[in-house]
Structure 1
Amino acid sequence: MVRKLLLMSLMMGITHQAIGKLVAVSDGGLYVYGNVRESACRLEMDSAWQAVDLGDTTHAEINAVGKQSAPVQIKLYLLDCPEIATRMTNSNSMTTTTSSQQPGYQARFVAVSDAHNPDLIKVEGVSGIGLRLKDSHGRPVRLGQTGDTVLIDPGQNVITYTLQAERTAAAFIPGAYHAQVQFSIVYQ
């Protein structure tokens, strides 16, 4: 550094003498730093906000409490999942999920519960049905609770859930209905 400054000073002197004018030269330096790390998966935005059409359900399909319509798939796309070690605690089963190479996620779905069956999502516009949300293994999703860890492959992944209408004990009043469900995905 001292040699560089000495050389620059000499060059400035030569430049000043050769031109006969004073030339201002400013020097500076950069301190560059950063961090390289694995990033979490990212949720494809097309799957972050979805309109799910459950179609038409007849009273004959759901004519008794607990009867369900045909399920409709909901797909969430996780992209660029890194190959990382996972160690996550599962609050539902009081276990720990670990992997040396697979990333993991936990999902949480929040919605207003049906008054007659709190495991179902409340719908607006009709009476006598709620919506049942199930994970990719066909297990009911507990609303408002973070699910157990699911290990996924590094790279791209499709997570599939299903929704279906389910008959409740409320009086049956047909018509158009809607509901809103929020979800969050927690990555390792």
Structure 2
Amino acid sequence: MNQAAVRRLNNGWLSLLLAMGCSAATASTPPDQPYGTVGWLAVSGDLQEAACQLDMASSRQTIELPAVSLRDLQRPGDGSEPTAFSLRLNGCIRAAGSVLNSQNNTLAWSSQQPIATLTFAAPADMNVPELFQVQGAEGIALRLRDASGNTLRPGTAGAPLFMNPGDNTLMFTVAVERTAAPLLANSYRATLDFHLHYQ
């Protein structure tokens, strides 16, 4: 395994295509064989070099946040109680890793643990760029934090994550936070993509 290369975890895929066609040409069918159908089968896949496999249940999640009252969001920075969610990684292998920690500009490394960085990608709030924009309600945005309480900014890799051999569960929280924009009560939604990179 090339430890210097950045490995990106993607879900493997398998496509299966079966096409059947009827053969009407008698020249292609031996005289002693009955008429029938012919077909072909195309199979493709993706072999990837990754230290861990993302659990299928973690790859697509819907998180329902509890209702928040306007009276709890009177000033910018006021927020709701955080809601926890997790990403589960299976079958992590023992491997060396190193990565520059963009949070504090230091080098994180291990001789036995693979290291991952996680990036959540979605539009940032116009008033508070470290928060994720929502659609619907106004005057609020979403703050994501890792298990250490560090804010995960839109499009920016978080602090390095050291993986233990075997299975790992990464914990996060998401909460509503008041911005400087005027409040408008309504339902809201946001879609966040995440990218897990191994070093």
> Is 1:151 equivalent to 2:173 in the alignment?
no
Give the aligned residue type for 2:187: A
- Distance in 2 (CA, whole Å) between partners of 1:116 and 1:175 is 19
SS in 1 for 2:125: coil
Corresponding residue of 2:122? 111
Corresponding residue of 1:82? 93
Corresponding residue of 1:136? 147
Corresponding residue of 1:166? 177
SS in 1 for 2:174: strand
Q: CA deviation at 1:39?
A: 4.6
Taking the TM superposition and a 5 Å limit, the aligned residue runs for 1:5-154 are 39-154=50-165
Give the aligned residue type for 2:195: S
Aligned residues: CA RMSD: 1.3
For the 8 Å contact 2:141–2:176, the answer to whether it is kept is yes
Segments of 5+ residues of structure 1 without an aligned counterpart are 1-37
Q: CA deviation at 1:92?
A: 3.4
- Distance in 1 (CA, whole Å) between partners of 2:70 and 2:180 is 13
Segments of 5+ residues of structure 2 without an aligned counterpart are 1-48
Q: CA deviation at 1:130?
A: 0.4
TM-score by length of 1: 0.76
- Distance in 2 (CA, whole Å) between partners of 1:42 and 1:152 is 12
Q: CA deviation at 1:101?
A: 1.2
Corresponding residue of 2:26? none
The structure with more helix, counted as a fraction of residues: 1
* Residues 120-152 of structure 1: CA deviation (Å, up to 9, x unaligned): 111111111000011111111121112231112
Q: Would the alpha carbon gap of residues 39 and 108 (structure 1) be closer, same or farther in structure 2, given more than 3 Å must change? A: closer
- Distance in 1 (CA, whole Å) between partners of 2:156 and 2:126 is 18
Give the aligned residue type for 2:189: H
Taking the TM superposition and a 5 Å limit, the aligned residue runs for 1:168-183 are 168-183=179-194
Q: CA deviation at 1:172?
A: 0.7
The structure with more strand, counted as a fraction of residues: 2
> Is 1:186 equivalent to 2:197 in the alignment?
yes
- Distance in 2 (CA, whole Å) between partners of 1:152 and 1:160 is 13
Give the aligned residue type for 1:127: E
